Structure 1
């Protein structure tokens, strides 16, 4: 596996993460007829909250991000992007597993939405997310917490 790590985001990361979002989402947004070069970046800027966001670095360089926003009924997994060169090597799985273990420990469901036809949906399904509902652009998914059993971590 490549040399990678995860760190808390800072406000200074917003532009790099907005650019990453534009690169990662472009193929799916174009396929759906929804790509707008300015809007794809601005939506990230408007929603970016470094207090609930982590940056993935590969070789010390930003290569991804993920946010886990707490809400009353669940945690919302948002802005989970990995640069194309960082995909397919297990980084996304490791990041997602770590976040889900934390939510399982806390007994909190996780919700997300993924673009229709996105390959990322298979990753989410492998980790227990199921479809709640969908619209022409997004599939909205939920994962209920898995009970943490004896010998599998803190209770």
Structure 2
């Protein structure tokens, strides 16, 4: 994400500990190695994907797609739409569009995306 942050704002600023909620984040592992993390906020009317990161060395292997299918299944079982946001320069937009997300509003910096429940 550092490259995308620097493209957007010109400099990297590590999140302060106050901004990181360890209770929301789950580590994604593959063959015993930590390869990413996912964070969801299950609100009454919507499921929010706060984080879905897979290390570049493990991308394009179907790991993110499997996680997203599980997220979609969970949201569908609860009849909730899914929302997320990402930096405009992040090519993950195509990944989310393949999973049924559409861009709702956008700013100069971010795309906001949503997916209706199945």
**Partner Cα separation in structure 2 for residue 96 and residue 40 of structure 1:** 26
- Of 52-61 and 90-99, more deviation after overlay is shown by 52-61
Matched residue, 1:40: 14
Task: Report which of the two structures shows the higher radius of gyration computed on alpha carbons.
Answer: 1
Instruction: Kindly report which structure 2 residues correspond to 1:135-150, keeping only aligned pairs within 5 A, or say none.
Output: 135-146=107-118
- Runs of 5+ in structure 2 lacking a partner? none
Aligned to 1:12: none
Aligned with 1:119 (options 85, 91, 100): 91
Question: TM-score by structure 1 length?
Answer: 0.70
Name the SS of the counterpart of 1:32 in structure 2.
helix
Give the aligned partner of residue 105 of structure 2.
Answer: 133
Query: Residue 59 of structure 2: which of 65, 87, 95 is its match?
Result: 87
Q: Give the direction of change, closer, same or farther, for the CA distance of 1:73–1:40 in structure 2 (3 Å limit).
A: farther
Shift of 1:125: 0.5
**TM-score of the aligned structures, taking structure 2 as reference length:** 0.90
Q: Using the alignment, how far apart are the partners of 1:71 and 1:47 within structure 2?
A: 18
Partner of 2:112: helix, strand, or coil? strand
Corresponding residue number in structure 2 for 1:3: none
Higher strand share: 2
SS in 1 for 2:39: strand
Tell me the C-alpha RMSD between the 2 structures. 1.6
Displaced runs of 4 or more, over 3 A: none
How many residue pairs were aligned?
118
